[in-house]
Amino acid sequence: MVGHQPAQLARNADNNVTSIMTPTTGNHSTAKARWSEFFIEGLIRVLGFSTIGFVVLIFLFLLNQGLPFFFNVPAKSLLGTRWYPTFDLFGTLPLLLGSLLVTATAIAMALPLGLATAVFVREVAPNWAREILKPMIEVLAGIPSVVLGFFGMTLLAPLVRTTLNVPTGLTAFTGALILAYMALPTMISVAEDALDAVPMSYRDAGLAMGATHWQVIWRVVVPAARSGIVMAVMLGMGRAIGETMAVMMVTGNAARMPLSLDSLFRPARTMTATIAAEMGEVAQGSIHFPALFGSGVILFVRTFLINLAAAGPMFQKRRRGGLR
């Protein structure tokens, strides 16, 4: 018995050391996990704020370059109807109205087609067709705008000229067709996600009350996804307003007031096309240089307001806990 006491004492000592070291090792692992989590959260926070910072820096740069235009050009001339930089005429009204005409027409074309496509993909198409259509719609958004511009110049513009019997096919209507096509992928994807977020219980309840599948779609599902559909329209409009190359290539680039009844089928000029067409030839130091940056400020503010309007339904959806 006495001979076994040293071995027993050694085992007890080892157990005590193990019991003492185990909490220390656990605390070390917990502290390491906390530091890793803190680092990752900090990195995500920095990246998120840096995105906002980049947008603010871009806006400040535009203001720095464009404010001389607003100070040196009288308000009456700023809202004039003639944009002729060679004669120091910088009326932005034709550009604003041209952008509005092309964008509004494009959204009027894209909205019914985009909504119908989203409803078909989510509510009508079988699963195998949905798996094919959704990637194809996403691929449409990746086509370069200059390729669409060439398509509009070579195929669409002659078709518009011969079909509508107009002097030229490079019109606001042609630009609206191209913009409608470019806005469709965004509108379809966002609207389809909004329809997908509607709970299945809504559909089951409508069918249980005796409604047909079509009635459930248009009287239950679509109204329930109204906020997301509005957001899809706003984002599609922002996509159309910011487009440059395709519009510049197919609208004719005539800075005229689109106030006549046939303005849609006559050449027009948008604000983005004006900046892209004239920035490469402007003389730095002239009033024309800050005038283009001033147009960029107006375009930036208008796009920001559209995106802000699109964010409103999203915040309402979040406060209500989903599209319900």
**Residue 256 to residue 267: CA distance in whole angstroms:** 8
Q: How far apart are CA 28 and CA 249, in angstroms?
A: 64
Q: What is the CATH number of the domain that holds 108?
A: 1.10.3720.10
- Flag whether pLDDT at 219 surpasses 60: yes
Same domain, 17 and 110: no
With a cut of 60, say whether residue 234 has pLDDT above it. yes
> Which of left, alpha, beta for 141 (phi over 0: left; psi -120 to 50: alpha)?
alpha
For the chain, the average pLDDT equals: 81
Q: Residue 254: what are its φ and ψ, rounded to 5°?
A: -105, 115
Kindly state whether residues 112 and 144 are assigned to the same domain.
Answer: yes
Q: Tell me the average pLDDT across 119-145.
A: 86
Read off the pLDDT band of 324 (50, 70, 90). very low
Domain termination site, one of 72, 87, 112: 72
Tell whether 134 and 158 lie within a shared domain: yes
Q: Are residues 97 and 194 in the same domain?
A: yes
Domain boundary residue among 19, 41, 72? Answer: 72
Given a cut of 60, whether residue 317 has pLDDT beyond it is no
Task: Using the predicted structure, report yes or no on whether residue 312 has a pLDDT greater than 80.
Answer: no
Domain of residue 275 covers: 77-319
Residues 67 and 123 in one domain: no
Q: Is residue 153 part of a domain?
A: yes
Based on the domain organization, do 157 and 244 belong to the same domain?
yes
Where does the pLDDT of residue 116 fall: very low under 50, low under 70, confident under 90, or very high at 90 and above? very high
Query: CA nearest 122: which of 143, 137, 139?
Result: 137
Whether 9 and 41 share a structural domain: yes
- Kindly state the helix (H) or strand (E) to which residue 70 belongs, with its residue range: helix 5-72
Residue 27 has what pLDDT?
A: 64
13 against 268, higher pLDDT: 268
Out of 48, 72, 96, pick the residue that ends a domain. Answer: 72
Q: In this predicted structure, what is the pLDDT of residue 21? A: 47
Question: Rounded mean pLDDT of 2-18?
Answer: 50
Instruction: Give the tens place of pLDDT for each residue, 133-173.
Output: 888 888 887 888 888 888 888 899 899 899 888 888 899 99
Q: Which of 5-14, 110-119, 143-152 has the lowest mean pLDDT?
A: 5-14
pLDDT at 133: 87
Domain total of the chain: 2
pLDDT, tens digit (0-9, with 9 covering 90-100), for 22-55: 455 556 677 777 787 888 888 888 888 888 888 8
Task: Report if residue 173 sits inside a domain.
Answer: yes
Do 107 and 59 fall within a single domain? no
Q: Are residues 109 and 65 in the same domain?
A: no
Task: Write down the pLDDT at residue 225.
Answer: 87
> Is position 60 within any domain?
yes
Residues 88 and 50 in one domain: no
Residues 133 and 166 grouped into a single domain: yes
324 lies in a domain? no
State pLDDT tens for residues 177-215: 999 998 898 899 889 888 888 888 888 888 888 888 888
45 with 66, same domain? yes
Q: What is the pLDDT of residue 320?
A: 53
What are residue 84's DSSP bridge partners?
89
